[in-house]
């Protein structure tokens, strides 16, 4: 079976085709970073219009890359939320229209479930249950993943998400949008220990996060120092180290509280090299394992949507022709599924 995946939740148009026997057959991605750079952030109306221009051409390219036609597709999966309503409507409308025309099931996918399952695109896949750290521009959550569709929220950010905090701090340092990756690159040149930022909420019980205070601390540090390139790098290093240490401490606490030894990191921030290295070192010391996808599957992409669609297709899930998308959509609202092997037995 083959599933076409469509991702249009924000500022990236992702199209992919997943085969349950072979794996990923095609993966196309168009980023709108240059379009939104002049505004310092995503402009929803511009994002929607660009998805309209790019989605159909990318689907054609993906089919050509896979050597397939519409008649070879067994289902169409598309992101139905959470995300920007206008952007979601583009993917949902195109996805349902193609499913109707090709007479195949249409499958609405939760964007964060796609991220959560992205590590299963790799050969080294986590087994259930596991704890998932979802870290992106819009989300910072710790989830107890008991099975597909069985998700328990353990903790989340009470203010800024990690990616949002990275971007805001990068802007304070004069870096262009999107600033998170640029800040991480700058941090590699920073001196450890020149500045020390607080590790928020680690002295409190529970698994919630708070990162807005780090942004304020960074702003005060920048204002109180004569800024040159090295000083900026040192501040970036202190900020990144504080974020990473906080995430590591909370993840260790989540594993200890649940008794689970497997941790999955997903979302755009999970591609951060420092986070990956420190998390692996820390979790390994307590006898645990860390799983994550390759960097191109950490940010928004069609591959994770096609994969999630395949799993739901194998569980007999399909949706009506009604076009419904959700700006907000808690993972806990999803229904439990019986996990099915991604590949056919030979």
Annotated binding site for Fe cation: 111, 115, 300
Binding-site residues for substrate = 134-138, 167, 180, 272
Residue found under tokens 């921030």: 269
Q: Report the SS3 class of residue 145.
A: strand
Spatial distance between the Cα atoms of 97 and 101, rounded to a whole number of angstroms? 6
Which backbone phi and psi does 199 adopt, to 5 degrees? -105, 95
Spatial distance between the Cα atoms of 340 and 293, rounded to a whole number of angstroms? 20
Which residues are CB-neighbours of 128 under 8 A, at least 6 positions away? 145, 146, 147, 148, 339
Q: How far is CA 216 from the centre of its chain?
A: 25
Helix (H) or strand (E) holding 109: strand 106-110
Binding-site residues = 111, 115, 134-138, 167, 180, 272, 300
Q: Tokens representing 15?
A: 């199209």
Which residues are CB-neighbours of 191 under 8 A, at least 6 positions away? 230, 233, 234, 237
């Amino acid at each position: 079976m083959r599933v076409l995946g469509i991702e249009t939740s924000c500022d990236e148009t992702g199209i992919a085709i997943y085969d349950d026997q072979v794996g990923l057959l095609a993966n196309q991605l168009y980023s709108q970073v240059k379009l939104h750079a002049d505004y310092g952030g995503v402009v929803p109306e511009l994002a929607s219009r660009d998805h309209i221009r790019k989605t159909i051409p990318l689907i054609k390219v993906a089919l050509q890359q896979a050597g397939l036609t519409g008649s070879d597709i067994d289902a169409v999966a598309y992101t139905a939320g959470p995300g920007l309503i206008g952007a979601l409507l583009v993917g949902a409308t195109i996805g349902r229209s193609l499913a109707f025309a090709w007479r195949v099931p249409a499958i609405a996918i939760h964007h964060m479930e796609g991220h959560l399952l992205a590590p299963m695109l790799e050969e080294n896949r986590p087994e259930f249950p596991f704890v998932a750290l979802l870290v992106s521009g819009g989300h910072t959550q710790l989830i107890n993943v008991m099975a597909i569709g069985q998700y328990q929220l353990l903790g989340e950010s009470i203010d800024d998400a990690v990616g949002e905090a990275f971007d805001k701090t990068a802007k304070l340092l004069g870096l262009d949008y999107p600033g998170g990756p640029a800040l991480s690159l700058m941090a590699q040149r920073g001196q450890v220990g020149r500045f020390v930022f607080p590790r928020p909420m680690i002295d409190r019980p529970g698994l919630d996060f708070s990162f807005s205070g780090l942004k304020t601390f960074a702003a005060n540090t920048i204002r109180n120092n004569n800024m040159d390139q090295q000083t900026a790098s040192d501040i970036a290093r202190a900020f990144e180290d504080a974020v990473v240490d906080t995430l590591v401490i909370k993840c260790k606490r989540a594993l200890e509280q649940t008794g689970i030894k497997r941790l999955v990191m997903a979302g755009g921030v999970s591609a951060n090299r420092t986070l990956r290295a420190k998390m692996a070192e820390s979790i390994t010391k307590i006898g645990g394992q860390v799983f994550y996808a390759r960097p191109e599957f950490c940010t928004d992409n069609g591959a994770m949507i096609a994969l999630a669609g395949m799993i739901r297709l194998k569980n007999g899930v399909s949706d009506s022709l009604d076009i419904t998308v959700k700006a907000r959509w808690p993972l806990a609202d999803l229904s439990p599924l019986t996990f099915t092997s991604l590949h056919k037995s030979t």
